[in-house]
Amino acid sequence: MNRLSRRTFVLGGAAVAGVVVAPLQSASAAVPFPFQLGVASGEPDASSVVLWTRLAPSPLNADGQGGMANADVAVDWQVSTTSSFASLVASGTVTAKYAAAHSVHVVAGGLQPDAEYYYRFRAQGHISPVGRTRTAPALSTVGRDFVMAFASCAHYESGYYTAYRRMADDRPDLILHLGDYIYEDAATAGSLRQHVGSEIVTLADYRRRYAQYKSDPDLQAAHAIAPWLVVPDDHEVENNYANMVRADSSPALTTAQWTARRTAAYQAYYENMPLRPANINSGNSIALYRRVRWGQLAVFHMLDTRQFRNDQACGDGWKVCSDADLASRSLPGTAQESWLLDGLGQHLGQWDIIGQQVFFARQYDASGASNMDAWDGYRASRARIQQGWVDRGVRNPLVLTGDVHASWANNLKADYANANSATIGTELVCTSITSGGNGTADTAIPNAGTNPHLKFYSNRRGYVRTKITQAQVTADFRGVSTVTEHGAAASTLKSFAILDGRPGLQAI
Ligand SMILES: [Fe+2]
């Protein structure tokens, strides 16, 4: 429901003794609906969750301010155990600042563990859509049945966000987004639906691009159904960029202009994602790698493999490249690599789930070439992490990946050159939401001959749905037959189980 009456909102608040939400200002038909970008939540722990919205009555305005005037605006928020908001468990008022493109990040606290909640906002006399969210289980408990879905790569021009809609239909408990939430490129003539504007460079550009993406009702449905954990990849800034090094030279930018662009990109990322205030951008970077715990059941190590990486070896691309073996090279960067290994050694959950961006398992083609943008371009770094979890006795390492616009399921090997070596972990790779267009029915595993640890491939668009219990993780690779027409159904293309204490894929 897009609009509840203001009266309903006030009465909902007044129904709880002592809790009255005072009207901020009179509803006015002259004030346009400011919640065109929907609502979102994220970063749940056992007692709190981040609630997000951004006021933008005219999302596509070129100044990136979404049609808002140069003034700060008060925004009321409410949390209830029911979608009717008959009683409130938390509420308050925050300021949507012009300087933050009128985004708000509310940390709603004092919540019960492992519990479902509903939330909404009010501003300028209008009520927002209602979002559903939930908290994580208490750290001492395993919690209820847990469904987690993950996705990546949603190029707006490539198709409709049907896969986001189908994720929402599943009503998962948690959604992970592993990057390429937006794309930076200019409008493409003749595409199904077009980006507004040229390649995005300025803060106004990035803000407007997020606003365009977030105007999509299918994406809004996926945000409104569950809390998200997000990490960006390259396209939130620019294709295949590495740390402070660009991968292309168009548009031409001075070093200072590139630095300003990266700064703008991460400011807009924070403004538009349901991140905790601790993750706010600072200078030209943003502090994003973090752990999120799900009771005793799981811990999510969310990685950032863009901001701190060494430049791609041998000039990027698919290459035979001995430099990719250099011990000095790291994909997460030295500090994040140490942080990850330290966290893996703490055994914070039964399943150690690494949410990250790029292809983790080795994949060599018949000539021995591999993708220098992925972990194959940072082999010593991968080896340190894999051996690190073996040395630390990590019981159930599970790597989640996006980026490659196809579904894959891979066994991770102690020695990729020896098919008989131990399987020491598992990788699940989600396909794209839209990037690459409709895809095909192809399921022949590329480079299977040289990489027998790669066990599944599908070129459909979609997402991965997992059910996580103490006994096993079940992964359903979900696919849609088209993204160039609305309304395709999602079906399960393939399912695997990963058993507790036994790394690797089991066909089911
Ligand atoms: Fe992508």
Residue 172, SS3 per DSSP: coil
Q: Tell me: the pLDDT tens digits for 439-460? A: 999 999 999 999 999 999 999 9
User: Ligand 1 mean position to 213 CA, how many Å?
Assistant: 15
Q: How confident is the model at residue 114 (pLDDT cuts 50, 70, 90)?
A: very high
For residue 74, give the nearest of 32, 23, 28 by alpha carbon: 23
Q: How far is the CA of 71 from the centre of ligand 1 (A)?
A: 36
Please give the Cα distance from 492 to 494 (Å, whole number): 6
Q: Using CA atoms, how far apart are residues 1 and 333, in angstroms rounded to an integer?
A: 45
What number is the average pLDDT over the span 481-497?
A: 98
The CATH architecture to which 6-134 belongs is Sandwich (2.60)
Q: How far is the CA of 158 from the centre of ligand 1 (A)?
A: 11
- Look at the block and give the residue holding tokens 């891979």: 410
Q: Ligand 1 centre and the CA of 239: distance in Å?
A: 9
Please determine, for residue 137, whether its predicted confidence score (pLDDT) is greater than 60: yes
308-322 pLDDT, tens digit per residue, is: 999 999 999 999 999
Q: How far apart are CA 381 and CA 326, in angstroms?
A: 9
Picking from 14-18, 129-133, 365-369, 474-478, which range would have the lowest pLDDT averaged per residue? Answer: 14-18
Can you say whether the dihedral through the CA atoms of 11, 12, 18, 19 is positive or negative? Answer: negative
Is residue 226 within 8 Å of 274, Cβ to Cβ?
Answer: no
In this prediction, residue 4 carries a pLDDT of: 39
Would you list the domain boundaries of the chain? 6-134, 146-507
Residues 13, 92: Cα–Cα separation, whole Å: 11
Distance 343 CA to ligand 1 centre (A): 28
| Span from the CA of 347 to the centroid of ligand 1 (angstroms) | 32
Nearest to 404 by CA among 178, 81, 224, 121: 178
- How far does residue 402's CA lie from ligand 1's centre (Å)? 8
3-state helix/strand/coil string of 84-98: CCCCCCEEEEEEECH
Is 504 strand, coil or helix?
strand
Query: Over pLDDT 70: what percentage of the chain?
Result: 94
Q: Which amino acid is at 34?
A: P
What residue spans of 203-333 are helical by DSSP H? 203-214, 217-225, 255-272
Residue 238 CA to ligand 1 centre (angstroms): 11
Examine the pLDDT at 144 and tell me if it is beyond 60.
yes
| Mean pLDDT across 199-212 | 98
Give distance in angstroms: CA of 310 to centre of ligand 1: 20
Find the 356 Cα to ligand 1 centroid distance in Å.
13
CA 138 to centroid of ligand 1, rounded, Å: 35
pLDDT surpassing 80 at residue 228: yes
The CA 413 to ligand 1 mean position distance, Å, reads: 26
Spacing, Cα 390 to ligand 1 middle (Å): 31
**Ligand 1 centroid vs 250 CA: distance in angstroms?**
18
Could you tell me the distance, in angstroms and rounded to a whole number, from the CA of residue 473 to the centre of ligand 1? Answer: 26
Checking if the pLDDT of 18 tops 90, the result is: no
CA–CA separation, 391 and 414 (whole Å): 12
Q: Say whether the peptide bond before residue 251 is cis (omega within 30 degrees of 0).
A: yes
Q: Separation of 178 CA from ligand 1 center, angstroms? A: 10
CATH topology of domain 146-507: Purple Acid Phosphatase; chain A, domain 2 (3.60.21)
Q: What is the pLDDT of residue 355?
A: 98
Q: Band the pLDDT of 30: cuts 50, 70, 90.
A: confident
Separation of CA 153 and ligand 1 centre (Å): 4
Expressed in angstroms, the distance from the first to the final Cα of the chain is: 39
Q: Is the pLDDT of residue 284 over 70?
A: yes
Percent of the chain with pLDDT over 90: 94
pLDDT digit string, tens, across residues 418-442: 999 999 999 999 999 999 999 999 9
- Residues found in the chain: 508
* Distance (Å) from CA 182 to ligand 1 centroid: 9
Q: What number is the average pLDDT over the span 455-472? A: 98
Q: Which of 29-38, 120-129, 328-337 is predicted with the least confidence, judged by mean pLDDT?
A: 29-38
Phi, psi of 182 (to 5 degrees): -120, 165
Q: Judge whether 173 and 422 are in contact, CB under 8 Å.
A: no
Confidence band for 27, pLDDT divided at 50, 70 and 90: low
Selection from 132, 354, 341 nearest residue 231 by Cα: 354
pLDDT interval class at 28 (50, 70, 90): low
* Contact present, 261 and 269 (Cβ < 8 Å): no
- Cα(152) to ligand 1 centroid in Å equals 7
Judged against a pLDDT cut of 90, whether residue 8 lies above it is answered with no
Give how far the C-alpha of residue 16 lies from the chain's centroid of Cα atoms, to the nearest Å.
Answer: 35
What is the pairing mode between strands 103-108 and 126-127? unpaired
Name the average pLDDT for the chain: 94
All residues at 6 or more sequence positions from 281 whose CB lies less than 8 Å from its CB, including other chains:
263, 266, 267, 269, 270
How many angstroms is it from 50 CA to the middle of ligand 1? 26
Neighbours of ion ligand 1 (CB under 5 A): 153, 180, 435
CA of 392 to the centre of ligand 1 (A): 33
Q: Give the confidence band of 178 by pLDDT, cuts at 50, 70, 90.
A: very high
